[in-house]
A and B are shown apart, each in its own frame.
Chain A
Amino acid sequence: MLALVTDDPRDARELDDVTLARAKTHDAKAFRVLIETYQDAVFALLARFLGRHAQAAVIEDLAQETFVGVYRSLPRFEARGAAKLSTWILTIAARTALKERRRPASNARTVNAMTEPLVSPARTDQRIEQRAVGDAIARALANLGEPYRVVFLLREYHDFDYREIATALEIDLGTVKSRLARAREQLRTALKELAP
């Protein structure tokens, strides 16, 4: 299965209050629902952050770490204002990913080519073209430094606003803007190169 960006991620489904309340008490069934609600978004963030050469097992491992962290901290989660559970969970995922990449090389997980192709074997021209664009974006993101990449992903693929990114990554608002601008510029350049 493939995850595409929805037309309006702000409408993405959030866990209902009752299930959230139950999950906060570590009700296993409720927490399962929570996982299933947000797992694809977490996978998408982690996969795009790690890049196309990341092993599926590595992505899943980090996704598991993310939800273990969510499980531990969920009793203290309190939605304030416009804060959403999805924002909070993706923040944990982003920090988990950054933390993983900061590990010493000797402890880092092996990152090799993915064992399974992401695309369907039935390739049409359109599909090939789509793949080329996706590859260009993937390469451009891979060439970005991780601090820039994660800002870009949170903003463009997960619709964090600037302040949410600043809070999630503990950086200043100005830094968010500058990193985002740089990432966007690199993306634009990469996409221009695709043009005939």
Chain B
Amino acid sequence: MTAPIHDTGIPKAVLAQYEAPNAPAEFATHVLARIASESEPHGVRIRAPRRWLWATLGVALAAAAVLLVTGIRRPASRAASGERVALARETVDLGGRAIAVLEPSTSVAWTIRTTGDAVIEHRSGAAFYRVDHGGSFQVKTPLGVVRVAGTCFRVEITDMNKQVLKSGVGGALLATAVVVTVYEGRVLFAGSTGSIAVNPGEVAIATPGEPPQVREHPPDRVPTIPPSVASHSAGTPAPALAIRPTAAAGMSNSDEWWDSLPHDMDWDHSQATAIVDRVTKRLGIALPLSQVECRTRCCRVTLEEDTFDAHATDLQSSAGLGFGMYESHGIASRPNGDHVMTVCWSRDGSPTAVPDRAVERDRMLASAADAIRACGHELAAPITLVLQLSIDTAGAISYVESNKLELGNPAADCAETAILQAAAFAPAPITTWIPVRVTIGAPQHSTAPPASSGH
């Protein structure tokens, strides 16, 4: 917002004559009422991790007496301390150190010290904790303390704690046991009479007077990547572009500049082919090779305006034709409306830190697949959740567009939560948008592009 309207040729006073209504009285009240009417605590629900996620552990605590739900107080999302008693399943931000998904009737309190050390008092119920970078992280239960150990973990949050209890592993001990389930990473579970390390796929159970004991995760309950998603993400990977986008000296959208570039026939052909294959796989567009030109270390792709508009974000994030909007690539319009995207890549072996958002999206959906399936368990007919995730330069989700309100189905909300909680995006030079499309309640999940054609 820098320049006033001086360059339009239309005086501001003239423009001002197109009047617009102000907000009606009580508009703010209407908004607050609408927010309050929605059951989910949105303020903390869609926060994504700032970096790669470190650890997930599920702590299922079944106390002999569930604490009464009293004194509910909404925690500040970044508060150094807080407490929460959940009436319905909800997600809370534990002072920026972790995300906890609380099952109904779960009571927790937390203190985050200035050093980043976090102490969680898990009083009752069940919760999943996803821990971010920082100091130590402890979850205190009546029967022991769970300490997160290790450094680099992948995150998966599912309803596995319920499944463990139902499977009988902890069912008999429901009234008196603490059950710790680890999905990724490693934790130490220290009871009053001993401690034990709990690894992925293991369940540790502590009972009064007994040290925690590790049991293997029930084989039929181990979270797995569904075949449909696995094949999408790993079975037929999109061809990697040769190298990462980077700035090109003197880069321009002009044909003169393009014509000045020398050819490197081998690289040109392989890179153009990779782009075609990638666009075909990721966007479902049959892109003729004739519409892709490569020279030396730059390529340009010609697309019809409608095609470009329909896939603008995916061209950037999934097809790899973006990153560095103002530095490494440009978009020009032809008189006939066609858009020409020009991208240049580094060939000097020092690629910029540009992640493959499509791969990250696949990984995210694979991680969330079980949870998404669970969300759609009771759906009579499939529904399609469509999200647009804005990923900031730190890799955090800064904004989410969703059609869940249009869908009006709790399963959509549930699936959105699962997806966002599984998100783990790497830092990138610029903000990127990631389209996500998931069918809930169907045998298979699909991802962007719409209809998954060509996949």
Interface residues of A (CB under 8 A from B): 1-5, 7-10, 24-26, 28, 31-32, 35-36, 39-40, 42-45, 47-48, 56, 59-60, 63-65, 67-69, 71-77, 82, 84, 86-87, 92, 95, 99, 103, 107, 118-119, 130-131, 133-134, 137-138, 141, 147, 155-161, 163-164, 166-167, 170-175, 178, 184, 187-188, 191
Contact = CB atoms under 8 A, between A and B. Distances in A.
Q: How large is the interface on B (under 10, 10 to 19, 20 to 34, 35 or more residues)?
A: 35 or more
Contact of B1 (A9, A69, A173): A9
Contacts of A118: 19-21
Contact of B32 (A3, A32, A47, A131): A32
Interface in B413-455: 431, 433
A76 B396 contact: yes
Given A44-B20, A118-B20, A119-B19, 6 more contacts: A24-B78, A25-B43, A69-B401, A73-B399, A134-B17, A159-B5
B312 interface: yes
A54 B313 CA distance: 29
A4 B19 contact: yes
A2 B22 contact: yes
Interface in B1-55: 1-5, 8-10, 12, 14-24, 27-32, 34-35, 38, 42-47
B400 interface: yes
Nearest to B7: A184
Interface of B: 1-5, 8-10, 12, 14-24, 27-32, 34-35, 38, 42-47, 74, 76-79, 93, 253, 309, 312-313, 325-326, 330-333, 396-401, 405-406, 431, 433
Contact of B12 (A5, A48, A59): A5
A75 B93 CA distance: 11
Contacts of A42: 23
B43 A137 contact: no
A138 B20 CA distance: 10
Nearest to B33: A64
B10 A39 contact: no
Question: Which 4 A-B pairs rank lowest in CB-CB distance, beginning with the nearest?
Answer: A172-B331, A39-B23, A44-B20, A25-B76
26 contacts: A3-B19, A3-B20, A25-B43, A25-B76, A26-B76, A31-B32, A32-B29, A32-B32, A35-B28, A68-B35, A71-B31, A71-B35, A76-B396, A76-B397, A77-B398, A107-B406, A130-B17, A134-B17, A156-B10, A157-B15, A159-B3, A170-B312, A184-B9, A184-B10, A187-B10, A188-B10
A94 B233 CA distance: 33
Contact of A60 (B27, B326, B331): B27
A191 B14 contact: yes
